[in-house]
């Protein structure tokens, strides 16, 4: 009977001791409140807590990703768009994250949405499309500055998608097509200009050198006559024959 009683007392005592133990994982910090007041912060490991008088609240300090949903915004040049982003942050001060703000995850998300709309309204559409990285950095700075009082450290902000109205998409496509046609015309005209200069230089050379024009004529005849399917009749001027005689004498 005594052995059973001792075993029972030992079991009850073990249960009571275990009820005093709280485990804080490596990726957590423990915020301890004693009689409703903040008393200390626990590092990872096992700790003893006094039930009823003390309460433990764990805070995950790993990097978190907040997916900011689509936000309707108007750019500086009055173009309505939809934009979304993702924010990466971590808790730098667990006590502030619990004491200073009711729900830091929700607070960061709402702050990011408001800041993102304001940042879009400060730039034109072309700047937003070409400088997404800079706009993201501006949003990060604002969110990080405000959330610092909550013990939140914003790591980065990445703008994901910028959705334009369908009518604006068609307009941009037309502008891009017109730009490509413009470049094609410029390249073609530059090629024609170069060809014209070469022809002019060749004509000047043929006119300047005696007998050069006749030699060019004979070369053209040779090129055409190389194909047996061609039948060509040429009227060769006497001057061409004389040019050949002159070259033979040399």
Whole-number Å distance between alpha carbons of 49 and 52 = 9
Question: Given this model, what pLDDT does residue 221 score?
Answer: 61
List % helix, strand, coil for the chain (3-state, nearest 5): 55, 25, 20
Rounded to whole angstroms, how far apart are CA atoms 248 and 250? 5
Lowest mean pLDDT among 65-79, 148-162, 184-198, 228-242: 228-242
What pLDDT sits at residue 229? Answer: 62
CA angle 73, 76, 79 (to 5 degrees): 55
- Confirm if 47 and 22 have CB atoms less than 8 A apart: yes
Structure confidence at residue 20 (pLDDT):
81
Q: What pLDDT score was predicted for residue 63?
A: 93
Indicate whether 193 and 140 sit together in one domain.
no
**155 and 98, same structural domain?**
yes
Q: What is the mean pLDDT of residues 185-212?
A: 70
**Can you tell me the distance from the alpha carbon of 185 to that of 207, in angstroms, rounded to the nearest whole number?**
33
Q: Which domain holds residue 188?
A: 167-202
Q: Are residues 160 and 177 in the same domain?
A: no
Least confident among 7-21, 31-45, 166-180: 166-180
Together in a domain, 97 and 160: yes
Q: How high is the pLDDT of residue 202? A: 65
91 with 154, same domain: the answer is yes
Distance separating alpha carbons of residues 131 and 239, to the nearest angstrom: 71
Compute φ and ψ for 64, nearest 5 degrees: -115, 155
| 130 and 98 in a common domain | yes
Q: Are residues 133 and 217 in the same domain?
A: no
Instruction: Express each pLDDT in 100-136 by its tens digit.
Output: 998 888 999 899 999 988 888 888 888 888 888 888 8
160 and 171 together in one domain: no
What local confidence, expressed as pLDDT, does residue 42 receive?
Answer: 92
Q: Place 41 in a pLDDT band, splitting at 50, 70 and 90.
A: very high
Task: Please tell me the distance from the alpha carbon of residue 100 to that of residue 239, in angstroms, as a whole number.
Answer: 105
Question: What's the number of domains the chain is made of?
Answer: 4
Distance CA 35, CA 53 (A): 5
Q: What pLDDT is attached to residue 59? A: 92
Asked if 56 and 130 sit in the same domain, the reply is: no
Q: Do 129 and 52 belong together in one domain?
A: no
pLDDT digits (tens, 9 = 90+) for 51-87: 888 899 999 999 999 888 888 888 888 888 888 899 9
CA 3 to chain centre: 73
Task: Specify the DSSP class assigned to residue 229.
Answer: T
- Report pLDDT digits (tens) over 137-147: 999 999 999 99
């Amino acid at each position: 009977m005594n052995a059973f009683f001792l075993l029972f007392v030992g079991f009850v005592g073990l249960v009571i001791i275990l009820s005093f133990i709280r485990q804080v994982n490596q990726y957590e910090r423990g915020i301890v409140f004693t009689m409703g007041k903040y008393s200390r912060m626990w590092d990872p490991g096992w700790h003893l807590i006094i039930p009823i008088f003390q309460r433990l609240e764990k805070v995950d300090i790993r990097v978190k990703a907040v997916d900011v949903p689509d936000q309707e915004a108007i750019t500086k040049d009055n173009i309505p768009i939809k934009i979304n982003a993702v924010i990466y942050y971590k808790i730098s001060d667990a006590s502030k994250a619990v004491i200073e703000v009711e729900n830091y995850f929700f607070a960061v998300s709402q702050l990011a949405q408001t800041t993102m709309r304001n940042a879009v309204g400060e730039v034109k559409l072309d700047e937003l499309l070409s400088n997404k990285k800079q706009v993201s950095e501006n949003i990060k700075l604002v969110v990080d500055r405000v959330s610092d009082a909550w013990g939140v450290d914003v790591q980065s902000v990445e703008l994901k998608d910028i959705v334009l109205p369908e009518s604006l998409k068609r307009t941009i496509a037309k502008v891009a097509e017109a730009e490509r046609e413009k470049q094609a015309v410029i390249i073609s005209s530059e090629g024609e200009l170069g060809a014209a200069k070469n022809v002019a230089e060749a004509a000047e050379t043929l006119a300047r050198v005696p007998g050069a024009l006749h030699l060019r004529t004979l070369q053209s005849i040779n090129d055409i006559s190389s194909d047996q399917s061609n039948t060509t009749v040429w009227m060769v001027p006497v001057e061409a024959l004389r040019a050949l005689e002159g070259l033979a004498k040399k």
